[in-house]
Amino acid sequence: MANEDFLIGANDEHGVNPPTSGKRTPVVPGLNRQIYENEFNRMAKNRFIEACMRQDLSVFDVKPELQDVSINERIRRINSQNLTLLVTFAYNAYGETFSSASGLEVFYSPQNIKANQSRNLAENLYAELIGGTSQNGRGVKTLDVGVLSSVNCVSSLIEAGFMTNLREARLMINPLFQTEVGEEACHGVCNYLGVSYLSRDNLNNYPLLRSGSQGNFVYLLQFILNEYGYNLTVDGIFGSRTLNAVRDFQRNNSLSVDGLVGTNTWRTLLTLPPYPLLREGNRGAYVTLLQQLLESNLYLVGGIDGIFGSRTLSAVRAFQGANNLAVDGLVGNNTWNALTNLNF
């Protein structure tokens, strides 16, 4: 089978502002707020979708909505699609206060009509996630919930950490951890399917795109642009609206505004290293990444808007001071290295 003949389901548990307890962290010191479970689930799912698109795998997003969708409706959607397999992203909890419970586990259901294949998928997911993340391994386990037991396809569910563990609560809003979980999940899917995996951080894997291009990398481009706020139809066709969005993105990120998606544009879309020197007044995708990393380290920036203003500057200086760095407000190699370290 060609890669595009596989149809991969991607599901994120819960939605924004869930009404029940157990779907949010306790109040996080420094942030002075709770983190909702879906702040992680949705972003990890989106990184997984991006990774699958890069492999030329067809993807069905079970729950594109921000709000929660009932389990019965999600099962109906899943069972109407003839999916090859389903991966669900979730986060665990132990009580309602911060505790030492931690780690990552992957589930399947013995009640699934393809239980053996579901176990095989879960084992492949777990192997890549434990090998690629810094999480403690809690194993592959069984669980009888609808998205595992009541669907007509191979299905596994990832609990990537405990939101009631302060370190792992911080990881929930860390974009590097979200990406790592999505990528390793895709790698596990590729291993299960017996197809090769194209890595995210090798820019040689990304073709030059221009107006008129078509295919899986155009799907990927459009999907990523939409995450930056562009309202594109993800159809795999590089038309005039996609061209205008690319030019606007290039302009907002101080790139050559030529409408060509080459190495520099791909690197910026993906916020890959080497990370640029940033200072007050800068704006764009790397500033957004900076702000997200600062907040995951419990330094408030006054809103993640991609603009390096006075609040972001204060947060950078405070972070530098707490990490024995030169307190100059400049985000260079040493500051980036400290911010991107997930082994805190």
The tens place of each residue's pLDDT in the chain, 344 residues long, gives 789 899 999 999 998 877 666 799 999 999 999 999 999 999 999 999 999 999 999 999 999 999 999 999 999 999 999 999 999 999 999 999 999 999 999 999 999 999 999 999 999 999 999 999 999 999 999 999 999 999 999 999 999 999 999 999 999 999 999 999 999 999 999 999 999 999 999 999 999 999 999 999 999 999 999 999 999 999 999 999 999 999 999 999 999 999 999 999 999 999 999 999 999 999 999 999 999 999 999 999 999 999 999 999 999 999 999 999 999 999 999 999 999 999 87
The four Cα atoms 277, 339, 222, 190 give a dihedral, to 10 degrees, of 130
11 in Cβ contact with 71 (< 8 Å): no
pLDDT at 167: 97
> Which strands, in side-by-side order, build the sheet including 7-12?
58-61, 7-12, 85-92, 154-162, 104-108, 137-142
pLDDT at 15: 85
pLDDT at 344: 73
pLDDT at 52: 98
Q: What is the pairing mode between strands 85-92 and 154-162?
A: parallel
What would the two tokens of residue 153 be? 């396809």
Domains of the chain, earliest start first = 3-193 (3.40.630.40), 203-270 (1.10.101.10), 285-339 (no CATH)
What would the two tokens of residue 273 be? 């290293």
What would the two tokens of residue 311 be? 């609040």
226 Cβ neighbours under 8 A, 6+ residues apart:
232, 234
pLDDT at 19: 65
